[in-house]
Every structure is written in C-alpha cells, then in structure tokens.
C-alpha cells in the first residue's frame, strides 16, 4: 500500500512549515507506512505520554523540538511526569540517581510546557471538561487513556507512544490505520459475566479484576463484556480498561448496553459472529485477585489509591469511608494520586482538608508507582487499582494486596493487612 499525502501534508513534510513540523511529519508518515495506512487523518487532540523521565533520549527529543521552534497544533494534554511540581519534597532525592531523575523530570516537563502543551500532568485527561466526542479522531498515548477514549467515549485513537505522540501534536495528523478504522473496532472475544452475583457486581474491586482477566484472555484483541450492569460507572469502566491494558495490550473493549459502540452484542461483534466465549465466574475472579496480591505478611506499610488518577467521585468515596473511621495507624502512609483539576474541584467541595487532617497525602503531577515517593523500607502496600497492583511489584520491589476501598481504609487504621480472599460470589 502507498501512503498518499495531500498538498498541504506534502508541504509540511518538505519543510515549508518549519523544521519541527518537517521532522514530526517524517515520524508520522513513517509510522503510517509501517502500519499500512493509505492516508493521514486530521486529529482533534493529543495526549502526551512521553513526559516521564526515563533517560536522556526523551529529554533530548523534546528539547530538540523546542530548539526547532516546535509548537503543538491541536489541544494537547500531558501525562504524569517524574516529579510533583506542587509538592516537590514528596519525591525522594536521597541518591544520585533520584536527584538525576528529579532534575531530568523537571527539565522534561518544562520542555512540554515550552511546546505549548496544557499543564494537566494527569494520566486521566478524560476527567477534565474537554473530552472528545464519539467518532472523532484523536492521537492519545498512555495505555489507560487510549482504552478509555476508544471504549467509553467512543473516540478513535490507535496505540500511540513516546515520540509519536508529540509528532502528532505538532502536525495535527495521525495515520489512518488501526483503531481509527471501523474494521478494527469490532469485538473479537466475549467475556460472559452473567453468572456473577449482584453483590459481586456492586464491589469496586470487581472491575480491576475483570480488567486483569480481560487483558490476560484478549491480549491485544477487543473483548466484549456481557452481563455487566447497564449503569456501571465511568470509574468502574476506567478500572477495567487500565487493568486490561496492563495485563494485556487491550486498547478497546465493549460493554453491551453501556459503551457507545455496543448497544447489542451483535453490533459489538459485527462480522465476528464466531467469536470465542469465556465464562467469568466468581471462582475465576477470586483466583485472579489472589494472583495479583503478592504480599505474604500481615504488616501494612502503605495504601496507594488513584492509578489511574482518582476522580472527584472516587475522592468523595474515600472521604466518606475515612472521615468517620478510626485514626490512621502509626507508621502507615496513605496516598491518593490525582490530577490538578480534580484536586481543585475537590478542594472547592471541602473534601481535601478533612482527608489531609486524617493523614492522606495527595500526590499530583505524578504517580506513586513511577516515582520515588514511598518511604524507604516500605514492603507491603494495599491498593484498589489493578494497574498499580500489576506494575508496582516490578517497579518498586514491594508486595501488594488488591483490595476494596473499605478493606484499604480498615487495614490502614490497624496497620495490619485484612482482606477477604474469597470475596466474590
């Protein structure tokens, strides 16, 4: 297949719009050729993933775009960085490496500001007031943002990663391939949840476990859920997508009767009428949760909520669970990661001060599983996030228990890990 460019796109590639646009267009068109695209699409927005400092190459790339005069051409939000710019002392800088990462993180975040990006510093841009509409083309990076945009919002983005995301933002273009196209958005595998009890479907921790199973089963294909409540919340859908994109490579899922491209199973599957069916039972959920929970001790060092970043509703739920509970146990840290706009709204509602007085530490601009925030000596952490539970043991060298919000709060007040291993029925 041949990638055909419009006269405007040819001019961008030839350097008529400046060197940053030309370099970005080279990246976008090469990705398009690799993906087999025949044309590019105009995009409405970009979400940048590449602002976490993993090494000098990412910083060099962003600063080079600044040097070349680059500016984003479409509204562009940014993912978490490597430091909390609002609470800079939260990030540990005790070792040379920690100091290097903190300084590199600040420099990288500044480069994206210089390129014209909006200072959102959140992995959940969909929680803000500007969200793409159904069917609109976008170029979002960060796995949970991709899957949420495709699945819950019905917007269209392929899997974009570091470097390509910025190139798309500077050009306002993306290859017309992958999940931008109808034929790649149909369901490939059915997850039948009809045997799960109403009590199980009412639990917050059910949904990250469902996502974890979906990723393990579907891999990079598109799972379709049958039997979930028609009013399942966006936060629960967020939990499904984030975990499915972590345990597998899921970038789009459907929930029959809930998500925009799945009014019925037949519509969600399209031509894939022979899609395999997997029956999700309470026993499978219990086994998956136990697989994610690696802690073998009962002493609790910390709780971490908000991966992806906590929404206003989730912080309100934490507030309601905490304000009338016993005090936070000595030696236990309690973190909630969230975005700036959500934090500001929660402050306006009077939710933040009581939580901080109880002992909650709010983390903005970054997340506890990608940055050195947990206290030295932390060994066992509870979370209600399937994504955090999946990545933290490898990233941080700690053990984890995936739990309900209520289990997290109750354990934090005693300093002992308490959870029901056979919770699902």
> Looking at residue 18, what is its pLDDT?
98
Q: What is the pLDDT along the chain (425 residues), one digit of tens a residue?
A: 799 999 999 999 999 999 999 999 999 999 999 999 999 999 999 999 999 999 999 999 999 999 999 999 999 999 999 999 999 899 888 899 989 999 999 999 999 999 999 999 999 999 977 799 999 999 999 999 999 999 999 999 999 989 999 999 999 999 999 999 999 999 999 999 999 999 999 999 999 999 999 999 999 999 999 999 999 999 999 999 999 999 999 999 999 999 999 999 999 999 999 999 999 999 999 999 999 999 999 999 999 999 999 999 999 999 999 998 999 999 999 999 999 999 999 999 999 999 999 999 999 999 999 888 999 999 999 999 999 999 999 999 999 999 999 999 999 999 999 999 999 99
The domain covering 7-182 belongs, at the CATH homologous superfamily level, to Aconitase, domain 3 (3.30.499.10)
| Cis bond before residue 327 (omega within 30° of 0) | no
Nearest CA-CA partner of 374 in 139, 84, 45, 91: 91
Q: What is the pLDDT of residue 94?
A: 85
Beta pairing partners, 41: 174
pLDDT at 1: 72
Tokens of 408: 């997290």
Buried b / exposed e over 138-177, threshold 16 CB at 10 Å, is bbbbbbbbbbbbbbbbbbbbbbbebbbbbbbbbbbbbbbb
Q: Do domains 7-182 and 294-414 have the same CATH topology?
A: yes
Q: pTM to 2 decimals?
A: 0.97
For residue 248, how far is the Cα from the chain centroid?
13
Say whether domain 294-414 belongs to CATH 3.40.228.10.
no
Q: What is the dihedral of CA 97, 337, 422, 197, to 10 degrees?
A: -140
Q: Torsions phi, psi of 17, nearest 5?
A: -110, 15
Q: What ranges do the domains of the chain cover?
A: 7-182, 186-290, 294-414
Cβ contact 213:289 at 8 Å: no
SS3 track for the chain: CCCCCCHHHHHHHCCCCCHHHHHHHHHHHHHHHHHCCCCEEECCCEEECCCCCCCHHHHHHHHHHHHCCCCCCCCEEECCCCCCCCCHHHCCCCCHHHHHHHHHHHHHHHHHHHCCCECCCCCCHHHCCCCCCCCCECEEECHHHHHHHHHHHCCECCCECCCHHHHHHHHCEEECCHHHCHHHCCCCEEEECCCCCHHHHCCCCHHHHHHHHHHHHHCCCCEEEECCCCCCCHHHHHHHHHHHHHHCCCCCCEECCCCCCCCCHHHHHCCCCCCCEEECCHHHHHHHHHHHCCCCCCECCEEEEEEEEECHHHHHHHHHHHCCCCCCCCCCEEEEEECHHHHHHHHHCCCHHHHHHHCEEEEECCCCCCCCCCCCCCCEEEECCHHHHHHHHHHHCCEEEECCHHHHHHHHHHCECCCCCCCCC
What's the token pair of residue 242?
Answer: 């984030």
């Amino acid at each position: 297949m041949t990638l055909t460019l419009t006269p405007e796109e040819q001019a961008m590639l030839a350097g008529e719009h400046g060197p940053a646009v030309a370099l970005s267009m080279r990246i976008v068109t090469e990705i398009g050729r690799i993906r087999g695209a025949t044309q590019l699409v105009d995009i409405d927005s970009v979400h940048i993933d590449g602002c976490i400092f993993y090494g000098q190459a990412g910083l060099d790339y962003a600063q080079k775009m600044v040097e070349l005069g680059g500016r984003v051409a479409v509204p562009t939000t940014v993912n978490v960085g490597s430091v909390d710019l609002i609470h800079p002392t939260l990030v540990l800088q005790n070792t040379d490496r920690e100091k290097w990462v903190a300084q590199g993180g600040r420099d990288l975040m500044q480069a994206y500001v210089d390129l014209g990006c909006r200072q959102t510093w959140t992995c959940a841009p969909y929680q803000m007031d500007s969200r793409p509409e159904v069917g609109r083309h976008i170029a979002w990076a960060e796995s949970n943002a991709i899957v949420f945009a495709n699945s819950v919002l019905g917007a269209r983005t392929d899997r974009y990663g570091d470097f390509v995301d910025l190139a798309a933002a500077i050009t306002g273009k993306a290859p017309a391939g992958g999940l931008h196209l109808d034929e790649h958005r149909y369901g490939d595998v059915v997850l039948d949840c009809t045997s799960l009890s109403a009590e199980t479907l009412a639990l917050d921790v059910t949904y990250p476990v469902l996502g974890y199973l979906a990723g393990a089963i579907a891999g990079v294909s598109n799972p379709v859920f049958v039997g979930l409540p028609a009013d399942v919340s966006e936060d629960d859908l967020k939990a499904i997508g984030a975990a499915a994109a972590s345990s597998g490579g899921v970038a789009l899922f459907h929930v029959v009767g809930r998500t925009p491209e799945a009014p019925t199973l037949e519509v969600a599957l399209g031509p894939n009428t022979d899609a395999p069916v997997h029956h999700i039972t309470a026993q499978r959920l219990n086994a998956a949760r136990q697989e994610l929970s690696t802690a073998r001790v009962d002493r609790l060092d910390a709780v971490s909520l908000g991966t992806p970043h906590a929404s206003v509703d989730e912080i309100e739920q934490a507030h309601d669970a905490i304000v009338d509970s016993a005090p936070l146990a000595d030696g236990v840290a309690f973190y909630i990661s969230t975005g700036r706009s959500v934090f500001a709204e929660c402050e306006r509602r009077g939710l933040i001060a009581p939580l901080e007085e109880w002992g909650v530490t709010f983390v903005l601009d970054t997340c506890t599983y990608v940055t050195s925030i947990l206290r030295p000596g932390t060994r066992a952490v509870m979370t209600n996030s399937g994504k955090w539970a999946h990545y933290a043991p490898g990233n941080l060298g700690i053990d984890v228990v995936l739990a309900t919000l209520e289990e997290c709060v109750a354990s934090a007040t005693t300093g002992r890990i308490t959870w029901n291993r056979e919770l699902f029925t």
